Amino acid sequence: MYKEYRREDIFNKHKEAGIKFDVMVTGVTGAGKSTTLNTLFQKEITKVGKGVDPETMDIETYSLNKIFRFWDTPGLGDGVQKDKEHSKKIIDLLYKDYNSKGKKYGFIDLVLVIIEGSNRDMGTTYKLLNDIIVPNFQKNRILIAVNQADVAMKGRYWDFKNNKPEQKLKNFLEEQVSSIQRRVKEATGVDIIKPIYYSAEYNYNMEKLLDLLIDNIPKEKRELVI
């Protein structure tokens, strides 16, 4: 289903920019990066960790269709040494390049930072943004989404029958994403587009997640940040 979502829009942007679109998916361990990709692809393409135990230790790539590709990265928050190793892998990916007409461009066109609905480890998220993403990537290509909307209020006010939040939880989530937008600005100096919220586990608002990405597909190749 999602492979065909707004396919014409993606193709038109592909023709305009002349590139295949590459999205790096990152976040803290336990934010649900792998679950998000599995839901988008409607099958298990990557293993999901149990609880906060990490599963993705290396960078993997998955093509949703011929012109839209995702790069799954290891999460931060697994200890100082592991975070150092994972940070290097992420930075190396941000500088992965190709040549076109004598110019050097970055492979990654957008970065999607996934935050867990409970906001358990925002300190590590800010570190990821401040120390790794922002210094090595164009700020206007950074997007944030809040996963696990179903547990944002510790599982309360989630309509399990219809797999969607009740109005009280919706109100809370709207306030949460606005707060995250402000807090990211205060912590990193980056003005991000207002995040969307979703639940990969319950397949809720996945179209809005894709809308966030598709609406912000860049119109040109990404020149490397030196």
pLDDT digit string, tens, across residues 8-31: 999 999 999 888 899 999 999 999
Are 76 and 127 spatial neighbours (Cβ–Cβ below 8 Å)?
Answer: yes
Question: Would 162 be classed as within a structural domain?
Answer: no
Look up residue 151 and give its two tokens: 């547990």
**What are the residue ranges in the chain where pLDDT is below 70?**
47-58, 225-226
Q: What is residue 48's predicted lDDT score, i.e. its pLDDT?
A: 53
Contact predicate 27/128, CB 8 Å: yes
pLDDT given for residue 101 in this prediction: 84
Domain, as residue range, for 19? 2-148+182-223
Report the alpha-carbon distance of residue 223 to residue 138 in Å, rounded.
9
Q: What six digits make up the tokens of 39?
A: 């839901």
Distance CA 145, CA 218 (A): 18
CA distance 187 to 123: 10
**Would residue 163 count as lying in a domain?**
no
Task: Give the distance from CA 203 to its chain's centroid.
Answer: 16
Query: Pairing state of beta strands 110-116 and 97-100?
Result: unpaired
- Using CA atoms, how far residue 36 sits from 44, 200, 203, in Å, is 10, 5, 9
In a domain, 55, yes or no: yes
Per-residue model confidence (pLDDT) at position 45: 81
Does the residue 129 lie in any domain? Answer: yes
Q: How many Å apart are CA 43 and CA 45, to the nearest integer?
A: 6
pLDDT score of 225: 57
> CATH number for the domain including 73?
3.40.50.300
* Sign, Cα dihedral of 131, 99, 217, 33: negative
Confidence (pTM): 0.91
Task: Examine residue 154 and state whether it is found in any structural domain, yes or no.
Answer: no
pLDDT of residue 187: 87
Report phi then psi at 12, rounded to 5: -65, -40
**Residue 161 within any structural domain of the chain:** no
What residues contact 190, with CB distance under 8 A and at least 6 apart?
Answer: 129, 134, 139, 142, 184
Number of domains, the chain: 1
195, two tokens = 């995040």
Is 169 among the domain residues? no
Does some domain include residue 78? yes
Strand order from edge to edge, sheet including 103-106: 97-100, 103-106, 222-223
Token output for 163: 């797999």
Nearest 5°: CA angle at 110, between 17 and 90? 130
